[in-house]
């Protein structure tokens, strides 16, 4: 086992052990609902290198606030409140007194120094230390880029910290969604925290139901360009749009995680059925054969199963079948309207919405126990839930404030945060995003 992994394991062990209090200081550790303690992290104010030609408070705020909010949001780390830092003298990244930081119950210390050799460029030195082991160096990396991308640089640093602790990177992930803010429904993209919202499709017709490609370079969506719900694919880098299916109605496409196939709903044979299309050859095969609607398909993380909505028993219910269309079994047994299923990244849970007293709420189905947990309640209509790449968070649409907007919540329904405010916003899909060429 490598030294770094041993160090990280020791940090986790210390986090799980009962902490000792000094005087009347407040306990910093926090235990989350699944029984795993978050790692307490101290993050002093960002400093500027002496050789920087420019010192901008706005840069400090962008980097500092973004990093802090990212790690606080993670449910992996718990940020030690800055009011506790008053016990400590001015932070000097060249002469760190680690015992001071241990005294406020921090396990991890982050040092972040910014250099701006010119007004248009930023270089950030990001260093992480193990406070409980005498300040042992865990890792460090320099991140650089244009001044206007200071928030993105901070997101990348937070992602690197997640990776170093064996967690799924989250903070450079993207959410695509539908918005009416510019007149008609179009596809938009934003950072996971609601930052840098930008329009992707620019058309005079409706574009709805977006979905990510497996390589994150393309977006599948349904367009009413020809007054018909056609299935299209938009290439993020080139701006090129391809027509995939134009026979009657085509919608709710989802890309397989381990192969170059999509599953989608089409009425090309009469009623709404599920089809799989090989994106290399264009060949298709039909999966369902019913006189009722089968829709909203979503692949399991393994690619071996598909969850979907079907009205084959009279009302919309959630079903699972093998990827070949066999071994169909029903998941939901109560209620008369369930829809929008989506598998969690680890395959243990399935999000869906259920209508109760003319109001939609978000639920989680637990695959191993066949149990169901309600996540939203008494807060308008809540629809279109989608998992974060690490499965700890959910984005969804809700009209709880009057108009439909996008919100984040933790996987257990806690810590709800609003992301959008302009126009009406709905149909979000959350995915990791690693392509800097488009992001910059």
Instruction: Count CB-CB contacts under 10 A for residue 289.
Output: 10
Which H or E run contains 160? helix 150-164
Mean of the per-residue pLDDT values of the chain: 89
230 closest CA partner among 241, 242, 243, 240: 243
For residues 369-395, average pLDDT: 97
Q: Tell me the percentage of the chain whose pLDDT exceeds 90.
A: 75
Tell me the three state secondary structure of residue 403.
coil
Domain at 174-430: CATH code: 2.120.10.30
Q: Which of 383, 392, 382 minimizes the C-alpha distance to 344?
A: 392
- pLDDT of residue 5 exceeding 70: no
**CA-based nearest residue to 255, from 289, 212, 221, 291:** 212
CATH class of 39-165: alpha beta
Tell me whether residue 57 is exposed, middle or buried, using C-beta atoms within 10 angstroms of its C-beta: 0 to 12, 13 to 18, 19 or more.
Answer: exposed
**The token pair that represents 319 in the structure block:** 């079903």
The answer on pLDDT for 87 being more than 90 is no
Helix (H, G, I), strand (E, B) or coil at 62: helix
Band of the pLDDT at 440, cuts 50, 70, 90?
A: low
As a three-state string, the secondary structure of 219-284 is EEEEECCCCCCEEEEEECCCCCEEEEECCCCEEEEEECCCCCEEEEEECCCCCCEEEEEECCCCCE
Please, which residues have CB within 8 angstroms of residue 405's CB and are 6 or more apart in sequence? Answer: 397, 398, 399, 418, 419, 420, 421, 424, 425
**Percent of the chain, pLDDT > 70?**
89
Domain boundaries defined on the chain: 39-165, 174-430
pTM of the model as a whole: 0.89
pLDDT, one tens digit per residue, over 208-224 is 999 999 899 999 999 99
Confidence of residue 17 (pLDDT cuts 50, 70, 90): very low
pLDDT of residue 52: 60
Decide which of 351 and 37 is more confident: 351
- Residues 223 and 350: their CA atoms lie apart, in Å, by 27
Q: Which tokens go with 95?
A: 């002469």
Select the more confidently predicted residue: 9 or 430.
430
- Give the mean pLDDT of 74-92: 87
Most distant CA pair in the chain: distance in Å? 74
């Amino acid at each position: 086992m490598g030294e770094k992994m041993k160090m990280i394991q020791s940090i986790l062990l210390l986090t799980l052990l009962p902490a000792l209090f000094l005087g009347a200081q407040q306990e910093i550790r926090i235990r989350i609902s699944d029984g795993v303690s978050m790692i307490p992290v101290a993050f002093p104010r960002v400093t500027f290198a002496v050789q920087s030609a420019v010192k901008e408070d706005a840069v400090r705020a962008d980097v500092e606030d973004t990093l802090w909010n990212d790690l606080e949001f993670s449910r992996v780390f718990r940020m030690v409140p800055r009011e506790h830092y008053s016990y400590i003298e001015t932070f000097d990244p060249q002469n760190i007194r680690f015992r001071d930081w241990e005294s406020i119950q921090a396990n991890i210390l982050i040092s972040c120094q910014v250099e701006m050799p010119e007004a248009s460029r930023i270089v950030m030195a990001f260093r992480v230390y193990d406070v409980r082991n005498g300040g042992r160096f865990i890792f460090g990396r320099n991140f650089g880029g244009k001044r206007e991308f200071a928030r993105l640089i901070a997101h990348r640093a937070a992602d690197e910290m997640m990776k170093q602790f064996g967690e799924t990177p989250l903070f450079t992930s993207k959410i695509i969604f539908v918005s009416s803010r510019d007149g008609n429904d179009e596809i938009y993209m934003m950072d996971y925290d609601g930052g840098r919202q930008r329009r992707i499709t620019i058309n005079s017709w409706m574009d709805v139901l977006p979905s990510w490609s497996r390589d994150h370079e393309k977006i599948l969506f349904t367009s009413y360009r020809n007054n018909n719900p056609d299935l299209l694919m938009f290439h993020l880098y080139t701006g090129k749009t391809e027509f995939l299916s134009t026979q009657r109605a085509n919608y709710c496409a989802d890309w397989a995680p381990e192969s170059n196939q999509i599953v989608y709903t089409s009425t090309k044979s009469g009623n709404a059925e599920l089809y799989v299309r090989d994106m290399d050859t264009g060949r298709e095969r039909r999966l369902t054969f019913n006189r009722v609607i089968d829709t909203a398909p979503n692949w399991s993380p393994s690619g071996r199963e598909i969850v979907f909505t079907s009205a084959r028993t009279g009302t919309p219910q959630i079903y699972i079948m093998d990827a070949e269309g066999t071994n169909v079994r029903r998941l939901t047994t109560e209620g008369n309207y369930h829809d929008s299923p989506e598998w969690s990244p680890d395959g243990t849970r399935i999000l869906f919405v259920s209508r109760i007293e003319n109001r939609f709420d978000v639920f989680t189905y637990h695959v191993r126990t066949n149990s169901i947990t309600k996540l939203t309640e008494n807060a308008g209509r809540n629809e279109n839930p989608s998992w974060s790449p690490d499965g700890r968070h959910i984005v969804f649409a809700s009209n709880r404030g009057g108009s439909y907007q996008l919100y984040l919540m933790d996987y257990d329904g806690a810590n709800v945060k609003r992301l959008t405010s302009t126009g009406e916003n709905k149909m979000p899909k959350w995915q990791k995003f690693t392509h800097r060429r488009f992001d910059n």
